[in-house]
Structure 1
Amino acid sequence: MEEKQQRQPIYDLHERPPFFQLIGLSLQHLFSMFGATILVPLLVGLNPGVALFSSGVGTLIHLLTTKGKVPAYMGSSFAFIIPMASMMKTIGYPAVGQGVVSVGIVYLIISLIVWRIGSAWIDKIFPPEVVGPVILVIGLSLAATAAQSATELNGHYDIKVFLVAGATLLVTIFANMYLGGFLGLIPVLIGIIFGYLLALALGLVDLSSVASAHWFALPKFDFLFSGHNGLSWHFYPMAVLTMAPLVLVTLSEHLGHLLVLSKITGQDFFENPGLHKTLAGDGAASVFAGLVGGPAVTSYGENIGVMQLSRVYSVWVIGGAAVLAAGFAFIGKLSALIGTVPGAVTGGVGFMLYGVIAAAGLQVIVDNKVDYGQKRNLMIAGPVMVVGIGNFHLALGSQVDFSGVALATVLGIILNLILPKVAKSDR
């Protein structure tokens, strides 16, 4: 009875927290996704302010498309970094924009196909013995990134970074376990604030960018057919051919994230609002991003981790984070201030956020009583976890790279479909 009580949401999907709680809970999501969302444009050569704006608006588009039924936050996708960076160096934004829009269009086409044939096939290709290990992989595949951020400064080990990350993690755990009321709902935000203040005291924060930033700063939007001398209506087919196939990578991540969300909220999002709606939401968000100068977007595991930790699943909170992100893109000093949060802090919080996603995978395995005394289940879980966590990736040339998470998901599906129910040696 006590276990059941612990799993009850504090705010369910359509429950709206009081205004000041809503702001605090939304800020928690904003801080959690901010680092990764602006890192992608920095690596590619796009404008971080535009990426933040398209992330917020893309999330609102996704909420509208799914009729406010799926609490998913859309952030910059890492799957397209290599081709986008290459095209930015050789051609410029019009090519990148057309590639991003093509990604969104492919999503929309797939959503139409799913709408026609339904999503009953999901249960066949994603039984618990596949779902559990895949969710584990989604969380633990990010462990190395969190550990690197939590120990290194400029590529070298730094004890101050280690101390800040460790303190951030411990404060987040303490806030989650010992604080009640509203403070108990924002353990991640409390951990980030504490870690930031400690990092500031230890000299790990550079505030020069905040001092030089303007209060109001219009993001440098790049539009789909813009050129150096005004409008340019040139079409770049290579951009489409390079980026569109990578949807296979993000599609598997989309399915995985939707499985996690369904698990932690107790809702079946494949059924309601339907996989076709969530795919269309992703697609429409990426089309918008490509039109205004942002990178392709995808749902974020960091925000799923926040929901799992806080037990606040409200779409109002996700929408609030989206509005704040879009608004902060125009407030130069606020954007700059959030941008100074060091990797030590995000890494420390990442230990918690990525871990609770992995724990959701364990919960799937336990709740469904998956028997690892059966060879078939071992033959699925073993390779899936090692391939995904170890990032056994497939690189086709210099521009197409299928991540370990994507390969692990596909491998789990294939093994589930081809392996017999009982091994011959067990008969």
Structure 2
Amino acid sequence: MAEKHDYRNPEAVLDVYERPAMPGWIFLSLQHLFSMFGSTVLVPLLVGLNPSIALFSSGVGTILHILITKGRIPAYMSSSFSFIVPSIALMKAAGYAGVAQGTIAVGLVYLIVASLVGAFGSDWIDKALPPIVVGPVVVVIGMSVAGSAATNAMMNHGHYDLKYFGIAMFTLLLTVLFNMYLKGFWSNIAILLGIVAGYVLSMVLGIVDFSKVASTPWLQLPAFEFPFISYHPKQIYWDAILSFAPIAFVTMAEHLGHIMVLDELTHRDFFKNPGLHRTLAGDGTASIFAGLVGGVPITSYGENIGVMAVNKIFSVYVIVGAAVFAALFGFVGKLSALIQTVPGPVIGGISFVLFGVIAASGLRILVEHKVDFNLKRNLMIGSVILVIGIGNAYLQIGTFQFTGIGVATVVGILLNLILPQQARSEETKHIA
């Protein structure tokens, strides 16, 4: 785990290497579990895979990432949305054997890039990712998912539902009030309390369906998909490898963005210590493990970063606790089914806080580094990143899709490297 002689962030309630006391540790970890659960199980449900496997692989994958990064990075790893389209196509054409090869290929791409970074260094990051690029990218990471939060808060099977919106606003309001007015431990679990409050209101209003909980056994072994046991990979599915591998660079860009946010929150430089090569290797290893047990590619999760941004608890022990719960819940059928009953508007209301705090962290980077938007260079870079990213102007070639976050990050880096420090009009004005 993290070494005790690390720098101590004065803003942290619990810093990266600090262990919470019991029973508070349990509630802090459950808060992270609830925050990521909806997205984690949604991906396999859309693809046609077992959600329990996704829970198990996210838990083990997170622990692997923390071990590989020497317990220094409090990042939670789980199902990536970037691979949904090719995964659905492969499930129809080749079954899970195709998805497995694609998922493992993603992990191998990560490991190859990690090896290159380890060999040649990561000094280029400071030049490629200054505050004028990092700040807007972090804003985009938070704002690009604002639409999904709003959809969860408003829509009931494709139709606007005032009851849903009311539940979302109730959940949001109580979460904010809990965070502002409660003290000590209760303030630290404000998000969990908000989820519980929204869930209780949802039950009162009759929108929680417990039928699946009743029909699910207490203990249930996930339907693992082991190669050579559950299926025999009779051939190499090059279409799976070639459709998944390029998308790995998209999730790498998103992962870099998440590490930027964590750098800002924890007042550290994880790109240098423990190193970008370790965090990429951890991400890749998690995906390889997922591919070997029946899961989908894995990447870092913004929802959990949002939790840390709100409560200022950056402890890797809390993240490990959430990972252990996730892995165990994969075997406890009723608990997994119960968590799946958390309604969309409750998730939407919480997401307004979580995603908004991430976006605000990007603004904080710009303010703290005194980025001057009177300079045309900064104005051009910042505005282009924001509009491309928030608008999700993605690049799609066949089934390959480079997300708006990825496009915005790459364009921002290129503009930063190409544009001069001053526009010609500014130089003329300065001379005059």
Q: TM-score range by the shorter chain?
A: over 0.9
Residues 356-415 of structure 1 deviation map (CA, whole Å, 9 limit, x = unaligned): 001110110000000000000000011110110011111111x11111111000110010
Distance 1:226 1:88, change over 3 A: farther
Return the alpha-carbon distance in structure 1 between the equivalents of residues 229 and 352 of structure 2.
41
TM-score after normalising by structure 2:
0.96
Residues 159-218 of structure 1 deviation map (CA, whole Å, 9 limit, x = unaligned): 110010000000110010000121111011000000011011111110101111100000
Distance 1:410 1:232, change over 3 A: closer
1:231 Cα deviation after fit: 3.4
Determine the structure 1 residue equivalent to 2:422.
422
| Structure 2: stretches of 5+ with no match in the other structure | 1-7, 428-432
Q: Are 2:387 and 1:389 aligned?
A: no
Aligned ranges 1:105-120 → 2 under 5 Å:
105-120=108-123
| 8 A Cα contact 1:94 1:223, kept in partner | no
- Residue type of the alignment partner of 2:164: V
1:234 Cα deviation after fit: 2.5
1:340 Cα deviation after fit: 0.5
Residues 289-325 of structure 1 deviation map (CA, whole Å, 9 limit, x = unaligned): 0000001000000000000101000000000000000
Distance 1:328 1:247, change over 3 A: same
Return the alpha-carbon distance in structure 2 between the equivalents of residues 40 and 171 of structure 1.
29
SS at match of 2:415: helix
Q: Are 2:195 and 1:197 aligned?
A: no
Return the alpha-carbon distance in structure 2 between the equivalents of residues 412 and 224 of structure 1.
41
Return the alpha-carbon distance in structure 2 between the equivalents of residues 226 and 139 of structure 1.
41
| 8 A Cα contact 2:16 2:314, kept in partner | yes
1:90 Cα deviation after fit: 1.2
Aligned ranges 1:14-29 → 2 under 5 Å:
14-29=17-32
| Structure 1: stretches of 5+ with no match in the other structure | none
Return the alpha-carbon distance in structure 2 between the equivalents of residues 226 and 381 of structure 1.
51
SS at match of 2:246: helix
- Residue type of the alignment partner of 1:106: V
| 8 A Cα contact 2:9 2:15, kept in partner | no
1:348 Cα deviation after fit: 0.3
User: Percent of counterpart pairs with the same letter?
Assistant: 57
Aligned ranges 1:50-89 → 2 under 5 Å:
50-89=53-92
Return the alpha-carbon distance in structure 2 between the equivalents of residues 424 and 199 of structure 1.
59
Return the alpha-carbon distance in structure 1 between the equivalents of residues 232 and 281 of structure 2.
29
SS at match of 2:239: helix
1:40 Cα deviation after fit: 0.3
- Residue type of the alignment partner of 1:289: A
Return the alpha-carbon distance in structure 1 between the equivalents of residues 417 and 344 of structure 2.
41
Return the alpha-carbon distance in structure 2 between the equivalents of residues 231 and 372 of structure 1.
58
1:100 Cα deviation after fit: 0.1
Determine the structure 2 residue equivalent to 1:46.
49
Return the alpha-carbon distance in structure 2 between the equivalents of residues 69 and 119 of structure 1.
18
Aligned ranges 1:272-287 → 2 under 5 Å:
272-287=273-288
**How large is the Cα RMSD of the aligned pairs?**
1.2
Determine the structure 1 residue equivalent to 2:403.
403
- Residue type of the alignment partner of 2:149: A
What number of residue pairs does the alignment pair up? 420
SS at match of 1:401: strand
Determine the structure 1 residue equivalent to 2:5.
none
Aligned ranges 1:232-381 → 2 under 5 Å:
232-381=233-382
Q: Find the partner of 1:222 among 221, 225, 243.
A: 225
- Residue type of the alignment partner of 1:154: H
Return the alpha-carbon distance in structure 2 between the equivalents of residues 406 and 7 of structure 1.
33
Return the alpha-carbon distance in structure 2 between the equivalents of residues 204 and 402 of structure 1.
36
- Residue type of the alignment partner of 1:32: S
Return the alpha-carbon distance in structure 2 between the equivalents of residues 293 and 222 of structure 1.
4
Determine the structure 2 residue equivalent to 1:172.
175
Return the alpha-carbon distance in structure 1 between the equivalents of residues 75 and 285 of structure 2.
14
1:224 Cα deviation after fit: 3.1
| 8 A Cα contact 1:97 1:223, kept in partner | no
Q: Find the partner of 1:36 among 36, 39, 46.
A: 39
1:7 Cα deviation after fit: 6.2
Return the alpha-carbon distance in structure 1 between the equivalents of residues 229 and 47 of structure 2.
18
Determine the structure 2 residue equivalent to 1:209.
212
4+ aligned runs moved over 4 Å, structure 1: none
Q: Are 2:412 and 1:412 aligned?
A: yes
